[in-house]
């Protein structure tokens, strides 16, 4: 009888520990999710490569791998003004055939001491201007990975 009572005490302690852990996880998780607000943003970044290296893959005509470092500015175009006029600095990687293909980048966006970091994924499209010069556009999405910024109303 003594041994089974000891086992029960150990099991009860484990159950109480699990219950307390569950309550803490639920409480902290609920609090942080309530504190977070989601909102839609829209904008346009004007960026220029400061460093760019390309490697010819050689398997298909015009297939290159590109690694670049860039900087520029963000212009907020949405209802909620987000980092309007912010400095953008980052690096990106592209896998292109004839100037078209997937692109991924990571960047730091800063404005008046506020800093956010993002991971971007885009589709690169290159066309020729009427003068015959290549015009490259990037269209994609950003996922913010770190930082805080409060919408100023």
pLDDT at 89: 95
Below-50 pLDDT ranges, the chain: 4, 7-8, 27-35, 153
**Token pair in block for residue 27:** 């409480």
pLDDT at 142: 81
Continuous segment of H or E residues that includes residue 136: strand 134-147
Which of 116, 124, 117 lies closest to 140 in space, CA to CA? 124
**Rounded distance, CA 6 to CA 24, Å?**
27
CA geometry: angle 133, 138, 143, nearest 5 deg = 165
**Rounded distance, CA 147 to CA 136, Å?**
30
């Amino acid at each position: 009888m003594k041994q089974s009572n000891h086992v029960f005490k150990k099991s009860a302690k484990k159950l109480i520990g699990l219950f307390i852990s569950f309550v803490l996880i639920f409480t902290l998780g609920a609090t942080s999710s309530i504190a977070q607000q989601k909102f839609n943003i829209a904008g346009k970044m004007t960026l220029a490569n400061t460093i760019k290296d390309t490697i010819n893959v050689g398997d298909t005509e015009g297939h290159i791998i590109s690694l670049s470092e860039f900087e520029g500015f963000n212009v907020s175009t949405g209802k909620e003004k987000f980092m309007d006029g912010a400095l953008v600095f980052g690096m990106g990687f592209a896998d292109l055939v004839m100037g078209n293909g997937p692109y991924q980048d990571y960047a730091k966006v800063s404005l008046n001491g506020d800093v956010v970091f993002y991971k971007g994924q885009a589709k690169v499209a290159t066309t020729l201007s009427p003068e015959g010069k290549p015009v490259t556009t990037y269209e994609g999405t950003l996922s913010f990975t770190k930082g805080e910024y409060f919408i100023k109303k």
